[in-house]
Structure 1
């Protein structure tokens, strides 16, 4: 078997145990998991405070009634360890008040791991002292390890560090305080089994959480791509494919929106400029559609530059016709822009053998109205269209007002 195949087999077999997180998401994931761990450890801290306060009061209340020398000997140490758990829990609650995952800093990772290790080591010493008096089936240390493994999200390296170090302290302390080597050996075996179980359980829980995160990231990425695609499609649906300016659909929606706005504002004027290229059909039929398309693009680009205000709109109306909607513009202001359109096309100096002056020209129909709720926007279009018809009928290359 060649090494490459062996590597692929290992990846297929153990890949689920060690999911790969993209570099861009590693810091985000680590912050989220640390935040979740801290919030869960805060819950545990409150429980530890309540439990240890109760046990301390019980020990203080009954210590005078105990006559076993060994218990009396270790009682101060047990009291000290419970005080350590109590103080460390209060301190942890004080330094880990985090409103949201973005508040996670580097030192919070230290608080998280340090608090877990401190608790496990304290319980290891506590259990070792209690175990020296008499063996018990259930132990505080083993329970602490299992709770930590099932309640927290710890990656493989951190699990080995925390549970491995705690197991070493546990084994040394049990062997130190338990005089009966058989009981000590039995306790170490139990601790070893629970430690291995904790490592496996911790990794399973961590992997599931990472997979959930990656799935959510994938879904969010797909949503962003879909939204971007929808935005692009919507944008394209409002653009004329040839001239790359707004199309008739967008113009109609824009006109209706500005009409409603003018009605609400009472008295605002709305102007519409309709533009048609003179004798365009003859030019298109003679020199070909490609030449005609080039002219349409050239005219669209030129005329759109004359409509400069951000609130105005210049669009392709259809065929060789264009339109400009000028909100809050009176007839004088609209005519000024229309004259600028005529001059801009003249400066292009495009050859047109069928024109009276041999140059490409345009005809412009102009209308201005004060919108009201008794009329429709089509009223403005009809007025501008009639004015355009008058300009065409008069020979073109002129502006007529409706």
Structure 2
């Protein structure tokens, strides 16, 4: 008998919620076959069977929260387990004349049977007791067995609820406070997913445990839009269909600014400041299940095409729920683009234990003073939220000003890159 155990996925993940069972009791499974999907704080993990055989028992249901290391199912391993029914069928047909011998077998019927209850307790009960409990809708865990070994028999189930001594036990449990009634015709109540709960908890922790401030600036997008318009077709043809977007420009500008202002690329660990010497930029991606932030690794070593390809690949994986923990962990800075949804301005919240996050917004044509003239220019507001414990005002303003200057002068950005 092989056990299906919740594997250790990452140091920060201690439990997960079962989303769905791909295999059911009685199904044959191959070694390495995906049998259950587990939702964790960060990703959906596919748990496989380490043995080939028959799935004989499921110990946790869809919606249950299980800890790392918990046994959630059992597989009868080995080739013999693959087809138990055909082997027993011939034996039942051959000795028809030996019916009296078969009748002697009921004596073994009360053999202990493990019954799984709603409280996940394992109760030893005879098959007849189990059948009667199901018919009467009785939870075997609530039955008091007479057997000193704790085995529940038919008599115990039949007597449950009728014996007066069982009644006084009910008042021992204090009734839970009544929840305020919800008018379901006016309110739809939906339980938060595990990932939503985790995101809410961590965002609250960040806002409570950091000295977060936000500084703003605006960027004239005229030059970078003109460059992109001139080069996008040739770029796409030269790089196997990879499209030239604005994210690669901002990623490169941020990377250059992080070099000049290393505090923005740092984090606090206890009473120490850790200055990261790598540049792994998280790019926020919206999915039906919420926002995720996979990381583009080593942006200082990637060119524009490699950055655009990495972002496209991560976005596709995010929407298909195929992101790995490696995609999500270890970023040093984050960029989020609310402009794709039409946001004009916002104050983004710092991601995880990072020191800062850059918020991009919608490009809107506005009248701008250019020298002594008023011109209509495509403008974007940008916001830098930062942890004031690490980054001072001069550094935050200088960082954002450098990003602005590089985007407004893309030729300088190419030289920096």
State the TM-score, normalized to the length of structure 1: 0.24
Indicate the structure with greater helix content: 1
Indicate the structure with greater strand content: 2
Larger radius of gyration: 1
State the TM-score, normalized to the length of structure 2: 0.24
